[in-house]
Amino acid sequence: MRLEERINTYGRYLRNKYGCRVFRVGITFRAACAHRLSSGGCIFCLPETFMVSSIVDDEDFINIGYRQLHELAPKVRNGVGEGDGLSLLAYFQDGLPNDTDVPELERMFIRTTDYPGVRGIIVSSRCDSIDEVFLSMLSKLPIDTYLELGLQSSHQSSLDLLNRHENINDIKSVLDLCSDYGIHVGVHLIIGIPNENESDILQTIDFVNSYPVIKEVKLHNLTVYKGTRLADYYSDKLDEIPDLDCYLHLLGRIIARLRKDIVVSRLFTSNVRGNNRAIKPFLGVKRNWLSRLSKHLEEQQIFQGINCPVR
């Protein structure tokens, strides 16, 4: 049985919605993270692992997205063997510039959608960058719009340990606002946060299940990058970093618990090997990890949502 017969996968969701394969293209603002500048940033974060494009011109903000698509989309096209009909989602993946006003962001987003084949935009952000003015603008854009929020955990102690500088009650308020504006929300979750056990992780899944506005989850195995404070935390206890067997077990429990309609848009942290910065990464390649996950789900007869308490 294929993985997408057991899990509500992102690929299947996009094919059903658009009638074709759709590819995300990562776009960067290369803006300094305000949280990093003011409070040192999250202890796990290493910006160079996700900022991909060299084309960023502060004097031409309106065209940032369009120009990066012009640079990167041909590489995607060549890599997947698609012709001129390539369908794309423009993925603004490194957070919003805090010094940019909403009308200017709106103009930039609309300009980005002028690029041929763009079917929608994805905006990734921290909850503390979201307000009603921004959500109102997103809700009125003339194209499919998706918002990704870095939730990571529903436990305040974990958010504090990760130095997120976010309050879980403020996160709840942002999710409620997103619901009011009809925004399609996805959340990022880190699986394997120090001091969290399996019960804690499943409580976070229950938190996600309780918000109908959350339509997607990205699951990230805890990845420790050299040069981060998380690496310092694990400097004398590398054996405590969850290995692949442990993570596959947790994925099985999470998938069984996760609301059936939620799209699983990621199962493993991406871009771990390309820069050789991760400490104790999983052995092998993603294709093998997915094969092992599929086997585990089949052996345990796990389908997404079979143990979900929300019906």
- DSSP3 helix / strand / coil % (the chain, rounded to 5): 45, 15, 40
Determine the Cα–Cα distance for residues 179 and 171; give it in Å rounded to an integer: 12
Amino acid type, 109 = F
Q: What is the pLDDT of residue 275?
A: 63
Give yes or no for residue 274 having a pLDDT over 60: no
The whole-number pLDDT of residue 83 equals 66
From start to end of the chain, where are the E strands? 22-27, 87-92, 118-125, 144-152, 184-191, 214-221, 224-225, 263-266, 278-279
Strands 278-279 and 224-225: antiparallel
Over the chain, what is the mean pLDDT? 91
pLDDT at 104: 92
Is the pLDDT confidence value at 273 over 60? no
DSSP letters, 246-299, are HHHHHHHHHHHHS-TTSEEEESS-SSSTTTT-EESPPSS-HHHHHHHHHHHHHH
CATH topology of domain 3-299: TIM Barrel (3.20.20)
- Between these two residues, 34 and 49, which has the higher pLDDT value? 34
Per-residue pLDDT at 147: 97
Instruction: Report the SS3 class of residue 130.
Output: coil
Enumerate the domain spans of the chain.
Answer: 3-299
Q: How far apart are CA 176 and CA 181, in angstroms?
A: 9
pLDDT value at 16 more than 70: yes
User: What's the rounded Cα separation, in Å, for the pair 255 and 240?
Assistant: 23
Placement of tokens 């103009």 in the chain: 107
What is the percent of the chain where pLDDT is above 90? Answer: 75
Q: Which residue has the tokens 């609309």?
A: 110
The residue ranking higher by pLDDT, 98 or 78, is: 78
Q: Is the pLDDT of residue 176 over 60?
A: yes
pLDDT digits (tens, 9 = 90+) for 203-245: 999 999 999 999 999 999 999 999 999 999 999 999 999 999 9
